[in-house]
Structure formats: C-alpha cells, structure tokens
C-alpha cells in the first residue's frame, strides 16, 4: 500500500512539474504604476486565467521614466500597453509597434481648469498656462492645440505649456490655469484637494472631438510572424479580457487584488475602488476588438497638427485583428 501511495504521490508531483513547465512565459509592460487602470491584467493573473491558458505572465509596472515602446524595442517585454498617439509616433520613428487588441473603447483624458480663471471655452486658453504630461502623453494635447490654431510657445495668442508631473499640484498651487487629468484618477485628486465640481471647468477630449485611443495592447511586428507567438498572444488577450470582465463584475475584489500587487504601498483602498468604477466605464462592452473607425479618427486627429503634426503620414500595418479574430 505504501508503495502505491508513494507512486501516486510521485505521479502527482511529476504531473505538477509538467504543468508548470508547460506554462509559457510572457512579459507585459504596463503604461503606468500598479493601479486599477490595469485591474484586468492583475485579476487575470490572480484568478488563474493566465494559468488556465498555459501562460506564466510577468506584469511589469511602469512609471514616469519608463517608456513602454523603448522597453519592448530593447527586449524587456513581449507585450506593452500604450496610448495610440505614442505608439504611432514610435512606429514612425522606427519601432514597428502593432495594436493587437483595444480593451479601452473610450478615452478618459481631460483638461481640468479652475473656473476662477475665466476659462469657459477652448478659445479662452489663449494667454493661459496649461499643465501637460509628457513622455508620449503630450501628443493628443499638441494635436488639439494645432487644430485650434493656438501656438504652444506662450504669448497673448498662445498658451504656455507647463511640463506637468503626474499630479495636480500646479492647479492646486495656482501655477497653472488648467492641468491634464484622467476621469479615473487625477480629476478625483483635485476633488480630494478641496475643490467642488462647480469650482472647475472640464474639457473632455472626447467631447472636443480630439480623443485618441488609450491603453491598447501592442507587440512588435516580428511577433506576428511567429505562429507559436501568435497562438500565445491569442491566449493572452483572451485571458486578459476574461480578467476585465471579472474585474468589472467584482469591482471591490478587483481593487483589493490591485492593492495586493502594489509593492509601493502608495495606493489607497478608497482611490482604487473609485478608479475601477471609472475604468469600467471606458472598458464597458469591449471584447478587445479594435474599432477601426476609432483608430482612423485617432490618426486623422494626429495628422491635423498644422506645421508640427504628431505623425506625418497615415500608418500602414499599425493594427491588426489577427489575434482578436482567433478568439471568436
């Protein structure tokens, strides 16, 4: 009997080892630090969705000095999350990024202004100081200003661009009349700082017709030429979308999973629960398939940048349904 027990235990251990070896490694580079903006991926890992897809996914947090296109170009990741303007700009500069899925259907980007500045419409930006994120996040803003015909070098007829850190201090300290915010993050930092919604004037990029696609899933072209990698990516996207579905159906649990993965300890439960609620509004109804018309709108917005457009020509091969079509 003991021999049979030992043999059974040995078989179980061997089977476990085989399963562990079967899991294929994949590295995902996030756009920003660990937070509910990326809940779907952390949930997919925590709930075993990646494991069920025979994947061992490493999730690498981003930060202010981390540019995902540079990371993947240098071999530091297999997959990255990036905003389409930055991805297309990088592609034009020689990094062959391709969008393989688009979980975020809508943009969360806004420009939030203090009402006391007298700003009521975009025409009132002239002569004002506007806080703008850089590291690839400035492209939608620069395209918007170009479409409005407003120079970004200062002066009475232009705007002074303040290179904004990833906080809202310039607005609070009255160093800027407006700052960049996201519906799910920095806007609420302004509210938590003591501002009431009626103290603010908000310009949502979607309402202004200059919204661009955010947090798309990108790989290098060469990955799509490898059948084994294509299969792996299909499993990754499918499991990730399963993670997003679960996260949005179980928002409090998803927020806790994010907090468990935050090695910095900087995030709070209140903020992450609020963030996941706003994020799910952007993901709502998405199965990961890119809406080509939205991508083309993004391209047109970036091309209409006057004398200094974000990209200079319409990209070819910048997105594909090769991966998402395999999931159907």
DSSP string of 127-183?
A: T-EEEE--TTTTHHHHHHHHHHT--SB-STTS-EEEE--SSSHHHHTTS-SEEEEET
Asked whether the predicted pLDDT for residue 322 surpasses 70, the reply is yes
| 104 vs 1 pLDDT, higher one | 104
| pLDDT band with cut points at 50, 70 and 90 for residue 301 | confident
| Phi, then psi, of 259 in degrees rounded to 5 | -60, -35
d(CA 111, CA 126): 14
What top-level class would CATH report for the domain 109-204?
Answer: alpha beta
Residues 234-287 have pLDDT tens digits of 999 999 999 999 999 999 999 999 999 999 998 999 999 999 999 999 999 899
d(CA 15, CA 245): 31
Average pLDDT over residues 5-9: 44
| pLDDT band with cut points at 50, 70 and 90 for residue 2 | very low
Q: What is the pLDDT of residue 304?
A: 75
Share above pLDDT 70 across residues of the chain, in percent, rounded to a whole number: 91
- Contact between 304 and 139 (Cβ < 8 Å): no
d(CA 203, CA 185): 15
| 5 vs 131 pLDDT, higher one | 131
Distances (CA, A) of 95 to 66, 72, 221, 312: 16, 9, 9, 15
d(CA 214, CA 103): 9
Mean residue pLDDT of the chain comes to 91
Distances (CA, A) of 235 to 60, 97, 295, 298, 307: 19, 19, 23, 27, 43
- pTM to 2 decimals? 0.85
Asked whether the predicted pLDDT for residue 216 surpasses 60, the reply is yes
Q: What is the pLDDT of residue 11?
A: 45
Q: What is the pLDDT of residue 8?
A: 45
What top-level class would CATH report for the domain 23-105+213-327?
Answer: alpha beta
Domains 23-105+213-327 and 109-204 share a fold: yes
Average pLDDT over residues 224-232: 97
Distances (CA, A) of 245 to 89, 238, 239, 279: 31, 11, 10, 12
- The domains of the chain are located at 23-105+213-327, 109-204
Buried b (16+ CB within 10 A) or exposed e, 277-298: ebbbebbeebbbbbeeebbebb
Q: What is the pLDDT of residue 253?
A: 98
The tokens for 298 are: 């993004």
């Amino acid at each position: 009997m003991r021999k049979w027990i030992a043999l059974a235990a040995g078989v179980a251990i061997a089977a476990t080892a085989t399963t562990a070896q079967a899991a294929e490694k994949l590295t995902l580079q996030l756009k920003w630090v660990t937070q509910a903006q990326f809940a779907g991926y952390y949930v997919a890992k925590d709930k075993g969705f990646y494991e069920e897809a025979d994947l061992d996914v490493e999730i690498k947090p981003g930060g202010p000095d981390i540019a995902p296109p540079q990371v993947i170009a240098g071999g530091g990741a297999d997959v990255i999350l990036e905003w389409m303007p930055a991805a297309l700009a990088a592609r034009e500069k020689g990094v062959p990024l391709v969008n393989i899925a688009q979980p975020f259907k809508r943009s969360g980007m806004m420009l939030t202004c203090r009402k006391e500045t007298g700003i009521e419409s975009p025409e009132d930006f002239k002569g004002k100081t506007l806080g703008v994120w850089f590291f690839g996040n400035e492209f939608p803003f620069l395209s918007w200003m170009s479409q409005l015909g407003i120079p970004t070098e200062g002066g009475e007829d232009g705007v002074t661009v303040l290179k904004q850190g990833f906080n809202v201090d310039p607005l609070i300290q009255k160093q800027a009349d407006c700052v960049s915010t996201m519906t799910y993050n920095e806007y609420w930092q302004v509210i938590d700082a003591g501002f009431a919604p009626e103290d603010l004037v908000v310009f949502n990029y979607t309402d202004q017709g200059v919204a661009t696609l955010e947090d798309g899933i990108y790989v290098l072209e060469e990955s799509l030429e490898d059948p084994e990698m294509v299969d792996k990516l299909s499993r990754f996207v499918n499991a990730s979308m399963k993670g997003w579905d679960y996260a949005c159906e179980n928002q409090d649990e998803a927020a806790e999973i994010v907090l468990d993965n935050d090695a910095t300890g900087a995030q709070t439960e209140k903020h992450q629960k609020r963030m996941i609620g706003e994020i799910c509004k952007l993901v709502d109804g998405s199965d990961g398939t890119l809406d080509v018309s939205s991508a083309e709108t993004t391209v047109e917005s970036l091309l209409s940048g006057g004398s200094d457009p974000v990209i200079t020509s319409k990209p070819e091969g910048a997105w594909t349904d090769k991966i998402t079509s395999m999931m159907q």
